[in-house]
Structure 1
Amino acid sequence: MNQGPSVDHGHLQPMFVHFDDLDQMGMVHNTRYGVLVERALTLFWDSHGYGFGNGKLGHPDASVGVAEFAISYKAPIIGTGAVYVHLTVDHIGSTSVGYTFRVLSAEGAVHAEGRRVHIRLDPKTFRPTPWAEETRAIYKTLSAG
């Protein structure tokens, strides 16, 4: 994959569209955009030690629930190949975080954009619980300011 589009903040995650992501018209199926975002977040957090290996969370703050997921489709992705997911954070609460995302072509064209909210859940009680300071610091690296 090439270097991808230029972004001024957040994280740009290279992804690849596979043949099984396509619908009968050769476009990425609408449900696969959510999978691209999910996988981009997984790759980002795994690189910070927040993965799920050997059946265990890499960090307690990896225990999250999705409270909101919204996506708007702008232009179809036709065929297989490189795409990029641009992840940013627009809100960091005591137990929640709001991401914004864009699915981009290598040239920077927007294929889809949206928002996703995670709630930090205690892995034993499944009740909201505050983020650790090190997690908040990582979220701040995805913020504009």
Structure 2
Amino acid sequence: MTLLLETGHTRPVEVHFDDLDAMGLLHNSRYALLLERAVSAFWIELGWHFDPSASTFKDVFLAVREFKITYNVPIVGAGQPLVHFWIDRMGTTSAVYGFRILSPDGSVVHAEGHRVNVNLDPTTLRPRPFSDELREAASVLLRDPA
């Protein structure tokens, strides 16, 4: 039975052999990397780019402020789990992503948690408000857009 994925975005990500620990399990530090790969791919498809001169968005200097993860069931071996993510809250300068790392068929929640990203001014490294363009693009990820 597949879990209900009513909001947000879901995409497969690759677990490689070198992501595994000595027991053949996905190393705990790699779960954050899987989320990063999925979220980055989503934004890149919309025109975001690491190079400010190539990005369609003004907001290119984002930092992780907080990361919380609960491990439920280990991922064993290489493969393609799913990463389901959404935005629980989008404030003036920060966004709270919720996420679940799922089995390829979506029936098992391997890990879940949240990540807080802050939009920074690249010169001062202080928080600055998200642009209207980024807010509009992020609206498809909002759990409760109202």
User: Does the residue aligned with 1:97 lie in a helix, a strand or coil?
Assistant: strand
Residue correspondences, number: 141
Counterpart of 1:35?
33
Question: Which ranges in structure 2 are unaligned for 5 or more consecutive residues?
Answer: none
Distance 1:34 1:67 in 2: 13
2:137 is matched by which residue type in structure 1?
A: I
Q: CA deviation at 1:144?
A: 2.2
Residue 128 of structure 2: aligned partner: 129
Counterpart CA distance in 1 for 2:74 and 2:90 is: 31
Counterpart in 1 of 2:66?
A: 68
Shift of 1:57: 5.9
TM superposition shift of 1:139: 1.8
Equivalent in the alignment of 1:90: 88
Task: Determine if contact 1:65/1:120 at 8 Å carries over to the other structure.
Answer: yes
Give the TM-score normalised by structure 1: 0.90
Give the deviation of 1:6 after TM superposition: 5.7
Aligned counterparts of 2:143 and 2:33: Cα–Cα separation in 1: 25
Residues 1-145 of structure 1 mapped to structure 2, 5 A cutoff? 7-53=5-51, 56=53, 58=55, 59-108=57-106, 109-145=108-144
Fraction of identical pairs, as percent: 45
- The TM-score, its normalising length taken from structure 2, stands at 0.90
The offset of 1:138, in angstroms, is 1.9
Q: Which one has a larger percent strand, Structure 1 or Structure 2? A: 1
The two structures, once aligned, show a CA RMSD in angstroms of: 1.7
Q: For 2:61 and 2:54, how far apart are their aligned partners in 1?
A: 7
Q: 3-state SS of the aligned residue for 1:44?
A: helix
Is the CA contact 2:12–2:104 (under 8 Å) kept in the aligned structure 1? no
Cα shift at 1:56: 4.8
Q: Deviations 1:68-95 (Å, cap 9, x if unpaired)? A: 0010000000111111111110001011
